[in-house]
A and B are shown apart, each in its own frame.
Chain A
Amino acid sequence: MSAVFDKKIHQTLADANLQLAIYTATGRLKDKRTESVAADALPDYQELRTQANALKKHAIENLDYYLEEFERNVEAHGGKVVYCKDSTEVSDFVLGLAKERGVSLIVKSKSMTSEEVDLNERLEHHGLEAVETDLGEYILQLGRERPYHIVAPALHKTRFDVAAIFEKELHVAYETVPEKLSQIARGVLRQKFLDAGIGITGANFLVADSGAVVLVENEGNARLTTTAPRIHIAIAGIEKVIPRAQDLAVFLKLLARSATGQALSVYTSFLSGPRRASEIDGPDEFYVVLLDNGRTKLLPSRAKRQSLYCIRCAACLNTCPVYRKIGGHSFPWVYSGPIGAIITPQFMGVSYEPALPFASSLCGACAEVCPVKIDIPQVLLDLRSDVKKAETREKKNRLEKLSYRMFAWMMTHPRVYAWAGWIARHGPVLNIGPVRAWTSQRDLPPIPRQSFRDIWSRR
C-alpha cells in the first residue's frame, strides 16, 4: 500500500466529525434508495435491472456502431462530435475554441468526466475562468477540493463548513442557514451564467438513434449552462452511449432512484444540436466531446468490460461499508467507492495504487444495489489477480508470493498441515506482522489445545 493511501485512510478514520458526516449522509441516501426500489414502490425493479444490464452489455459490445450512429445524428442536427483520447486533447479543444471565439469565462455544470481530465486546472492555467455552478461543486471549487462523492460532491461538508468557506472566499457574513447559503451562491452564479461565453456539461446518456445528450440534475444549473451561453460543450465518456431513446424508459426509472431515492430528478434535459431557427432558447454552437482516456483498454476483456456499464448513480458508494468509513478523498483518483476501486486500476493501470482492489472485504453490498448489475466483487478479484501477476513479473513482493506457494504446498499435504497447525496452537503467539495487525484492533480467539481432527480421531 502506498504511504499516501494508508495515511488518508488513517486520517479519515481518526476524524470523528468527518466520520459522523459521511455515515449520516450516506445512510440517508442509502435508506431513500431502499424505500424507492422496494417491491411496493417499484414492483418491476429486478426486471428493470436485468434489462438495464442487457442494454448496456449490447451497447458496449457494439460501441463502434452506436458511436458512429450517434455522431451522424448529432451532425444531422447541426452539432459536432469531437473524439478525444486523453486529458490533453480535451483541454486543447476547449482552449482552442475559447480562443477562436474570444471567450474568457466558462460556466460548468457537474461532470465527473471533466474532473477526470482536470479540466478546470488546465483552463485556469491558460488564464480562463471556469466556474462550477452545481452548488456542491461550487463549494468545493471555492474550497479547492475534489469531489468527495460521485453524486453528492460536498457530502462531507456541514453547513458550518460551507459558511466558513463562503465567508472567506466570497467575503460575505458568516451564514449557516442552508437556504440563505444557496441564495448567496445563486447571487454570484446568476451573473456568471449571463456573462459566460461557453457552457460545459457532462452527459448522463448519449442517445444514438436521436443524437441527443441527456442530462439529469436537480438544481437547474445544467439547463442554464446549456442554454444561456452561446456555446454548449458536453463532455462524455464513450461508454455513455445507449442505442435508442426508448431505452431511457429503463435507465431513467433506475438512475434517480438508485442515486437519491427520487422517482425522477427535478430536471431531465434532452439536448440535440444547437438552437433551430424556430426556437427561442439554446446555444448557437453544440459540441459533444467523446472521451476515451483509457476506456477502450477495457473492451477486450469479457469479464472486466462490464465496468463500463456504470451510470454513475453512486448507490455502491452509499451502501459500501468501506466507503462509509474511509470516505471519498482516501481513494487515489476522482472516482471513489466500489466503482472507483474497479475503474481506477483499469483506466490508470494497476500500478497506480496496487492496494486499491484489496481495500474491500468483498461483502458484495455494491453488486446487490448496482442498477446495471455490475459484478463489482468479481472484477475486484480479477484485478487482484492482475496486481499479483504484475508483481510476479516485476519480481516484487516476493516474500508474499513465497508464502502463498508454501500455503498451497501445505494445504495439499494434510499431514504437514496438521503438524503446522499443532505447532501454531501449542507454541507461543508469534510476533509477526499479521498477528500484530490483528491484535492492534481485536483480541485473538481463545486457542483450543485440540483441533477438530484431533478430537475426531479419538472418538
Chain B
Amino acid sequence: MGKRVSLFVTCLGDQLFPNAGMAVVEVLERLGYAVDFPKDQTCCGQPAYNSGYREEARTVARHFLKTFESSEHIVVPSGSCTSMIGHHFADLFRKEPETLARVEALSRRVFEFSTFLTEVANVDDVGARFDGIVTFHDGCHGLRELHIREAPRRLLAHVRGLELREMQPAEECCGFGGTFSVKFAELSGAMARTKLEAIVQTGASAVVSLDSSCLMQIQGALSRAGSKVRTMHLAEVLASR
C-alpha cells in the first residue's frame, strides 16, 4: 500500500526507553505502515526552550525541521514533544516568516502516537491482548495543549483482557516538568508521591501513559516507595499480544 510514516522517537525515548520506541514500530508495522527512522534526528529542543534559552532551542528546532521536512507523516510517542513542535516552534520563529511557514507546514504532519492511530490510521482496535488491570496517567501537555483525552482510552478499551481503572484525579501533574524535576527536586518528589497515592488506590498493576518522561518520574517514585506497580508506555500495551 506504500503507507509510510517517519518515527521521531524523542531523545529520551532513544537513550532511555528504546522498548517503547520499538513497541511503536511494532504497532505501526502491524497496521501495515512502513516505518522510517530519519537517522539525523536528536531532540525537539524543549529542554532549552523550557529553561529560557530560546536561541539554543531555535538552533535545535531548525535541525528538527531539516531532518523531518521531507517526511509525510511524523509519529511521536510523546504528547509533550508533539506539543513543542506543534505549538511552541511557532513561538520560536515568530519573527522569521519563512521558517514559520515551514514550521506550519510541518506541524500539520506531526502526530502524537495515540492520535495518529485513532485519527490517521483510523483504528481503535490494534489487535492487542494484555491481561491485567491498568490505570492511565494523562500527561499534561498531551491533555491540555493537544486536548488528547479520548484516543488512548478508546485504544485501551479495545485491548483484550485489559481492565482500565481511572485514578482520581487522572489529570493531575506527576511533577516531572523537565528540569523542574531537578531544580525543585523536593517539590517535584512531593508531587510525584501524591500522584502515587492516586495510582496505588486503583489497585492497578501497571500505570500507562503517552510520555516516557512522566513514566520515568512515576517509575522512579514507585521504585523508591518499593511499589510493585509497573510503568508502561501506551505503545508497549498495544504491542502486547
A9 on the B face (CB < 8 A): yes
**Interface majority SS on A: helix, strand, loop or mixed?**
helix
Closest to A433 in B: B182
Partner of B140, one of A362, A384, A417, A451: A362
A173 on the B face (CB < 8 A): no
A312 on the B face (CB < 8 A): no
Closest to A383 in B: B52
B188 on the A face (CB < 8 A): yes
CA distance A407 to B48 in the complex (A): 8
CA distance A443 to B43 in the complex (A): 24
Contact with B along A417-445 (1 / 0, CB 8 A): 10001001100000001100110111111
A455 on the B face (CB < 8 A): yes
A388 in contact with B52 given A361-B188, A441-B185, A443-B223 (CB within 8 Å):
yes
A414 on the B face (CB < 8 A): yes
Partner of A441, one of B39, B59, B144, B192: B192
CA distance A408 to B173 in the complex (A): 28
**Smallest CB–CB gap between B52 and chain A, Å?**
3
Q: Which residues of B contact A411 (CB under 8 A)?
A: 11, 42-43, 45, 59-60, 63
- Candidate in A360, A367, A400, A456 with the most chain B CB atoms within 10 angstroms: A456
Which stretch, A202-210, A281-289, A319-327, touches the partner chain B?
A: A319-327
A154 on the B face (CB < 8 A): no
Inter-subunit contact A387/B217 (CB<8 Å): no
A368 on the B face (CB < 8 A): yes
Q: Which residues of A contact B15 (CB under 8 A)?
A: 421, 424-425, 451-452
B152 on the A face (CB < 8 A): no
Closest to A438 in B: B182
Inter-subunit contact A452/B14 (CB<8 Å): yes
**Smallest CB–CB gap between B83 and chain A, Å?**
10
Closest to A359 in B: B184
A453 on the B face (CB < 8 A): yes
List residues of A (354-397) whose CB comes within 8 Å of B's CBs.
355, 357-365, 367-368, 378, 381, 384-389
Q: Which residues of B contact A191 (CB under 8 A)?
A: none
List residues of B (84-134) whose CB comes within 8 Å of A's CBs.
88, 91
Inter-subunit contact A381/B220 (CB<8 Å): no
**Smallest CB–CB gap between A32 and chain B, Å?**
15
Inter-subunit contact B22/A358 (CB<8 Å): no
CA distance A363 to B169 in the complex (A): 14
A2 on the B face (CB < 8 A): no
Inter-subunit contact A442/B223 (CB<8 Å): yes
Inter-subunit contact A322/B217 (CB<8 Å): no
Query: Which interface class (under 10, 10 to 19, 20 to 34, 35 or more) fits B?
Result: 35 or more
Q: Which residues of A contact B48 (CB under 8 A)?
A: 404, 407-408
List residues of B (33-67) whose CB comes within 8 Å of A's CBs.
37, 39-43, 45, 47-57, 59-60, 62-63
B216 on the A face (CB < 8 A): yes
Instruction: Please give the number of chain A residues whose Cβ is less than 8 angstroms from any Cβ of chain B in the complex.
Output: 62
A401 in contact with B191 given A321-B175, A412-B59 (CB within 8 Å):
no
- Candidate in B173, B219, B224 with the most chain A CB atoms within 10 angstroms: B173
List residues of A (264-316) whose CB comes within 8 Å of B's CBs.
none
Inter-subunit contact A365/B186 (CB<8 Å): no
List residues of B (152-179) whose CB comes within 8 Å of A's CBs.
171-173, 175-179
Q: Which residues of B contact A441 (CB under 8 A)?
A: 185-186, 188-189, 192, 220-221, 224
Q: Which residues of A contact B175 (CB under 8 A)?
A: 321, 361
Q: Which residues of A contact B16 (CB under 8 A)?
A: 445, 447-448
Q: Which residues of B contact A454 (CB under 8 A)?
A: 18
**Smallest CB–CB gap between B151 and chain A, Å?**
18
Inter-subunit contact A10/B186 (CB<8 Å): yes
Q: Which residues of B contact A421 (CB under 8 A)?
A: 14-15
B238 on the A face (CB < 8 A): no
Q: Which residues of A contact B185 (CB under 8 A)?
A: 437-438, 440-441
CA distance A409 to B220 in the complex (A): 29
CA distance A278 to B178 in the complex (A): 64
A25 on the B face (CB < 8 A): no
Partner of A456, one of B37, B182, B190: B37
Inter-subunit contact B219/A437 (CB<8 Å): no
CA distance A452 to B19 in the complex (A): 8
Partner of A321, one of B54, B191, B216: B191
CA distance A353 to B217 in the complex (A): 27
B141 on the A face (CB < 8 A): yes
Inter-subunit contact A440/B144 (CB<8 Å): no
B202 on the A face (CB < 8 A): no
Inter-subunit contact A440/B60 (CB<8 Å): no
Contact with A along B209-233 (1 / 0, CB 8 A): 0000000110111011000000000
A361 in contact with B53 given A442-B223, A447-B16, A452-B21 (CB within 8 Å):
no
Q: Which residues of B contact A180 (CB under 8 A)?
A: none
Inter-subunit contact A384/B141 (CB<8 Å): no
**Smallest CB–CB gap between A361 and chain B, Å?**
3
CA distance A357 to B62 in the complex (A): 26
Inter-subunit contact B21/A322 (CB<8 Å): no
A13 in contact with B190 given A407-B47, A434-B182, A443-B224 (CB within 8 Å):
yes
**Smallest CB–CB gap between B41 and chain A, Å?**
7
Q: Which residues of B contact A378 (CB under 8 A)?
A: 91
Q: Which residues of B contact A384 (CB under 8 A)?
A: 50-52
A1 on the B face (CB < 8 A): yes
Q: Report 15 cross-chain contacts, Cβ distance below 8 Å, ordered by A residue.
A: A13-B190, A359-B184, A361-B175, A365-B140, A384-B52, A385-B52, A387-B52, A404-B51, A408-B48, A408-B60, A411-B42, A412-B62, A433-B182, A438-B181, A442-B221
Given contacts A358-B51, A363-B173, 20 further A-B pairs with CB under 8 A are A10-B186, A321-B172, A325-B187, A325-B190, A326-B187, A359-B184, A362-B178, A363-B144, A363-B172, A381-B50, A381-B91, A405-B56, A408-B55, A411-B42, A411-B59, A414-B40, A440-B186, A443-B223, A445-B219, A451-B14
Sort A-B residue pairs by CB-CB distance and give the 5 closest, nearest first: A441-B189, A361-B177, A442-B220, A384-B52, A388-B52
